Amino acid sequence: MDQSSAPVRRLFFGRDDAETDFTHGLLRWGFQPTAAYDAALTGRKTLIIGRKGSGKSAICHRLMAGYEGTALLITPDDAAGDEIRRFELQGVTADTAKSLIWRYTFAIQAARHLSAHARPAHGWRIPRAVRALQSFLQANDETGEDRLYERLRRGVRRLQAASLALKAFGVVEATAEFNGGTEGARALRQLEVLESGVLAAFEALRCTPQHEPLLILVDQLEQVWNIDPDSHAMVTGLLLAAKHVTRCYGGAVRCCLFLRSDIYDSLNFSDGDKFRSDELRISWTQPALRDMALTRASLSLEQSLTHEELWGGVFPATVEGEATSDYLFHRVLARPRDAIQFLTACRDVADGQAHPTVQPEDIVTATKQFSDWKLQDLAREYLVNHPFLKSLFTLFENHGYIVMRPALDRRFQAVQGSFQRGYPAYAERLTTQGVIDILYAVSFLGVKRGSDVVFAGDTQVPVQRHEDEFHIHPCFRPALGSTTAMGLPPYSPDNDVDSPPTKSSARSDAAAGQQISRDFHLLTELTRSCGRILNMVDRSDLPEPAGKELSGQIERVLHAARHKLDLQSSGKSVDSTAHVTSAANYFRELRTRLTAGGVQDERVLRRLDEQANALMATVGGAVGSGGGSESSL
């Protein structure tokens, strides 16, 4: 195939962030409609919650482009965030104060919209209420195209001093009504006058029955979030203000907020239960991610692909014995950004190797690279809430991906003191249960429930104290070197050189016969020991992947022993003593590793010990000894 026409060269899955992807990527044409988008578009839901990379900003930008009415976007920068966090009013709580500055911001946005909207949308005759708004904006220096920070700074100053110019609404600010009371009370009274003026303008224009409501979108709050009371109040105030807007303007304005799930879940305020019907949490399934990949691949290749053509033509059909799409989407957190990055990494590796299509080995190479990225990204994603997260990952390096609670407890107890000294503000949370809760919440660990392993994206039920089996998410396993269930050492048979049959006179035929009998006996006992262990593993309560891993290694011991028996039967010289001794030591090492991994099935551990001891006794005893009479069960 001509490399210039190879699919890999033209294959493209989009950009990492929604803003760039909408402008220079595939989001504008390849947007995947979801339940969250439909709910936000129709107004059924006004609070869209999701993890970083789950598609919140993609929905927001799509709404900006596709909404039939007017949509305004608010994305606070650091300066604007500082103004809101610092804003306070005497006489009211921090949550209420922050809600007032958000209400002021929304009212100014609505007033500016009405001032520009009235004539082109409703005719040349501008109602008095709209003219009053225009006069208010001019009197308060709100007619320019200033940044959000500038408008917030003016609003903060005027609300704190109760100095809004309200003459346009027929109100004299110098009256006792506006001079008495606390800062909070005076600010609230002035703000209510402004909101009444905005409502009057909407009613005068009869906007509600004629067109879609003004839609105010608020996104990217994580850019100005810190784990402190002022940030908490900033977001709580936003929620209160957004709900107030829906009531205040009679349906003429609605807000749609896009919040990171870790931020929203950290909030704790008395009115939190009033937002349940407004919430929608973004969730993605593997089929939905496959559809997204298919859409974007088809757009970039300018042809309508089928799943079979993508996962069997552009990509290979299988990778390491697993269907390619299952392999890929099983190893990403269920969110579009991760899928796009993994697919792009596969594409880049293939292109770097001058492959016309993506090959299995390209995907395997990309898997480790992607895993390294995601482990780093997870620590950065939660740096504000969990600054110690990166250090916790070291507890899982070069171990199995199944982590039993006792093993995790031992590992963490060894470093708990240093963690609590290094992060004193988090000391109360830095316990074994606290670490489990955090790692589960960020989807690093899943918990075994019934026959399934569930991650936080699949369920909101927290980890229970009786649950003791956890699995590292497949996304992070290669980066940690945790690619097997229990991290058991692979069995390697001894490397003694088996010699061919010989008629050497170095020993008598009788001596040779005795040696052959001993070799046969030792190797036969080893095969029996393997059978006893395998039988016990089949009946054990080991986690299924751990049982498979242990059985796989014992099968290798059994295969090697049978191979030695075949060599011995053919007359070759076999060092059975060294081979059986090595196998017995290996059984003991397995027992040690399983114990360190938190395995508590004493039957399996005891069986490994018993068979190791029996084999060593056989090696040191006479022919025929060594526990051969033990039941194979």
Confidence at 236, pLDDT banded by 50, 70, 90: very high
Distance CA 481, CA 469 (A): 19
Per the prediction, the chain carries an average pLDDT of: 88
Q: Are 605 and 486 in contact (CB under 8 A)?
A: no
Task: Check if CATH label 2.60.120 holds for domain 509-620.
Answer: no
What residues contact 95, with CB distance under 8 A and at least 6 apart?
A: 233, 236, 237, 240, 269
Distance CA 327, CA 289 (A): 13
- pLDDT, residue 605, reads 96
Q: Are 402 and 543 in contact (CB under 8 A)?
A: yes
Question: What's the longest Cα–Cα distance across the chain?
Answer: 124
Distance CA 52, CA 367 (A): 21
Pairs from 342-350 (Cβ < 8 Å, separation ≥ 24): 342/366, 342/370, 343/13, 343/293, 344/13, 345/369, 345/370, 345/373, 346/315, 347/8, 347/11, 347/12, 347/13, 350/8
Phi-psi region of 623 (alpha: psi -120 to 50; beta: other; left: phi over 0): beta
What's the token pair of residue 329? 């989407």
> Tens digit of pLDDT for each residue in 373-419?
999 999 999 998 999 999 999 999 999 999 999 999 999 999 999 99
Distance CA 31, CA 344 (A): 17
The angle formed by the CA atoms of residues 302, 304 and 309, to the nearest 5 degrees, is 110
pLDDT at 187 over 60: yes
Cite the DSSP H helix spans in 414-543.
Answer: 416-422, 432-441, 477-480, 509-538
Confidence at 5, pLDDT banded by 50, 70, 90: low
Distance CA 383, CA 53 (A): 16
Radius of gyration of the chain, Cα coordinates, nearest whole angstrom: 34
**Residue carrying structure tokens 């028996």:** 565
What's the token pair of residue 96? 């209420």
Distance CA 331, CA 346 (A): 13
pLDDT at 514 over 60: no
Using alpha carbons, select from 295, 221, 316 the residue that is nearest to residue 262: 221
> Tens digit of pLDDT for each residue in 53-76?
999 999 999 998 888 889 999 999
- pLDDT, residue 143, reads 86
pLDDT at 16 over 90: no
Confidence at 572, pLDDT banded by 50, 70, 90: confident
Tell me the CA distances in angstroms from 618 to 522, 563, 581, 584, one per residue in order: 7, 20, 10, 11
**Residue carrying structure tokens 């089996």:** 469
> Tens digit of pLDDT for each residue in 317-357?
999 999 999 999 999 999 999 999 999 999 999 999 999 99
pLDDT at 504 over 50: no
Q: Are 395 and 48 in contact (CB under 8 A)?
A: no
> Tens digit of pLDDT for each residue in 473-503?
999 999 999 999 999 999 987 644 444 544 4
> Tens digit of pLDDT for each residue in 139-185?
999 988 778 889 899 999 999 988 899 999 988 665 556 666 889 99
pLDDT at 630 over 60: no
Distance CA 156, CA 162 (A): 10
Confidence at 626, pLDDT banded by 50, 70, 90: very low
DSSP β-ladder status, 71-74 and 322-323: unpaired
What residues contact 91, with CB distance under 8 A and at least 6 apart?
A: 181, 182, 183, 184, 185
- For 243, half-sphere exposure in the C-beta direction (CA atoms, 13 angstrom radius) is 17
DSSP designation for 154: H
Q: In terms of CATH architecture, what is 11-16+285-381?
A: Orthogonal Bundle (1.10)
Distance CA 257, CA 234 (A): 13
Kindly report the number of other CB atoms within 10 A of residue 420's CB atom: 16
Kindly report the number of other CB atoms within 10 A of residue 92's CB atom: 18
Distance CA 57, CA 218 (A): 10
Residue-range domain boundaries for the chain: 11-16+285-381, 35-281, 389-480, 509-620
Inter-axis angle of helices 602-620 and 576-596, nearest 10: 160
Kindly report the number of other CB atoms within 10 A of residue 622's CB atom: 9
Distance CA 270, CA 282 (A): 24
DSSP β-ladder status, 253-260 and 469-472: unpaired
> Tens digit of pLDDT for each residue in 517-561?
888 999 999 999 999 999 999 999 999 999 999 999 999 999 999
